[in-house]
Amino acid sequence: MFRQLKKAATFAAAVLATTTLVSTAQAADYPEKAITLVVPYGAGGASDLAGRALAETARNYTNEQPVVVVNKTGNGGMNGARYVTEQKPDGYTLLLSRVGMALYPAVYTDSPVAWDDYTFLGILESTPMILAVNANSDIKTVEELLAKIKSSNGATTYAASGPTAIDGFTVQALLADADLDPLSASTLVPYKGGSALAAALLGGHVDFLAIAAGSLMPHIEAGKMRALMVYAPKRMDALPDVPTAKELGYNLAGQVDGWSALFAPKDLPEDIVAKWKDILSNVATNDQWLDLAKKRGSVSVVGDQDPAAFVKSQYELYNGMAKKFGYIQ
């Protein structure tokens, strides 16, 4: 009996050692083929721009294997997110995550993907949200905008992906800070994707919006839009005269910020996680990555914080807002 147990233990140890060697060899060779980077939102928006910037830069450190961006849209980003979580955890299908991956499950109890159904590889960038009006508008400040909203009895309009999307919460947080009803003081007009939202403001179809800087900066720089406020920890270098929500004393709005991150399916092997940490450490100092982030109005934060802890804090922030605004009873 003892001899049989000893033989079984020796066999198990041999299997474990072989598995470890195979895993190590796979990690050493990874990647051996193209990597798919799923962007869960439409082309032209902040997530798409961030995903393509990462793909262009990361391929310098992926054994010359390409990083191919694929847009899988729908259901507030959850279609793309769910697709990635259902893939084999081998490092060949990754997710360009946005704040929606923490926000959606914070608002919807039946979310198809939980906030922690991933392997967190890293937070990539802070992508400030900008409160803006059409350049032809007579509104010059946030205070003037709020005054117009107060006097309009809900007639003012703003563009957003939806009431519980990040660009819906940006406006609702501001309205709540101004002691206005976040759900009825101004009327939300839904559009899909950052480019469609920007087009709505450019075309005069809505009075204002507050969406990612990447979708607005080209129009602001072209003089077609006017930035009133930035949702970010500090002023943007590209908009040094535009105050932050926190500066203006808007407490809830001051906690809102956009971001991009890199996620993988849950249980990604540690050696491939380590490989991506190494890739991202190179991306962090890559001039192309930094230049593209600046052009998008974003700030690279690669390696600045623990991704799992950060995403958890974001989930808790929006879960609190959802309860405060009545989306969750």
Q: Look up residue 147 and give its amino acid.
A: A
Beta strands 35-39; 258-265: pairing state: unpaired
Band of the pLDDT at 159, cuts 50, 70, 90? very high
Choice among 10-24, 146-160, 170-184 with the minimum mean pLDDT: 10-24
Mean pLDDT of the chain: 91
* pLDDT tens for each residue of 220-250: 999 999 999 999 888 998 899 999 999 999 9
CATH number for the domain formed by residue range(s) 129-255: 3.40.190.10
Give, in degrees to the nearest 5, the angle at Cα 294 between 292 and 299: 110
The lowest-confidence range among 35-44, 174-183, 201-210 is 35-44
Asked if 31-127+258-324 and 129-255 have one fold, the answer is yes
pLDDT number for residue 66:
96
For the four alpha carbons of 7, 9, 11 and 13, in that order, the dihedral sign comes to negative
- For the cut 70, the answer to whether the pLDDT of residue 87 exceeds it is yes
Would you state the structure tokens that stand for residue 304, as one six-digit string?
Answer: 């600045």
- 31-127+258-324: CATH topology is D-Maltodextrin-Binding Protein; domain 2 (3.40.190)
**pLDDT score of 19 more than 60:** no
Instruction: Please report the pLDDT score of residue 2 as a whole number.
Output: 43
The model's pLDDT over 90-124, given as tens digits with 9 standing for 90+, comes to 999 999 999 999 999 999 999 999 999 999 999 99
Angle between helices 166-177 and 307-324 (to 10 degrees): 60
- Give CA separation, 244 vs 10, 197, 218, in Å: 63, 21, 19
Comparing CA positions, the residue from 115, 77, 125 lying closest to residue 295 is: 125
Across the range 129-139, mean pLDDT stands at 97
Q: Classify 235 as helix, strand or coil.
A: coil
For position 13, what pLDDT does the model report?
52
Question: What integer pLDDT is reported at residue 233 of this predicted model?
Answer: 84
- pLDDT on residue 11: 52
Distance between CA atoms of 253 and 207, rounded to whole angstroms? 19
Of 94, 99, 54, whose CA–CA distance to 72 is shortest? 94
323: pLDDT confidence band, cut at 50, 70 and 90? very high
Alpha helices in 111-212 (DSSP H): 142-152, 166-177, 194-202
- Determine the Cα–Cα distance for residues 247 and 317; give it in Å rounded to an integer: 20
pLDDT at res. 27: 62
User: How confident is residue 1, by pLDDT bands cut at 50, 70 and 90?
Assistant: low
**In sequence order, what are the residues at sequence separation of 6 or more whose Cβ sits closer than 8 angstroms to the Cβ of residue 162?**
76, 168, 188, 190
All structural domains of the chain with their residue ranges = 31-127+258-324, 129-255
In the prediction, which pLDDT does 26 show?
A: 53
More confident residue, 1 or 301: 301
On the question of pLDDT at 168 being above 50, the answer is yes
- Across the range 203-214, mean pLDDT stands at 94
pLDDT band at residue 194, thresholds of 50, 70 and 90? confident
pLDDT of residue 193: 78
Give kind and range of the element (H or E) at residue 277: helix 270-284
β-strands 208-212, 258-265 pairing: unpaired
- For residues 276 and 95, the answer to whether their CB atoms sit within 8 Å is no
The pLDDT value given to residue 4: 54
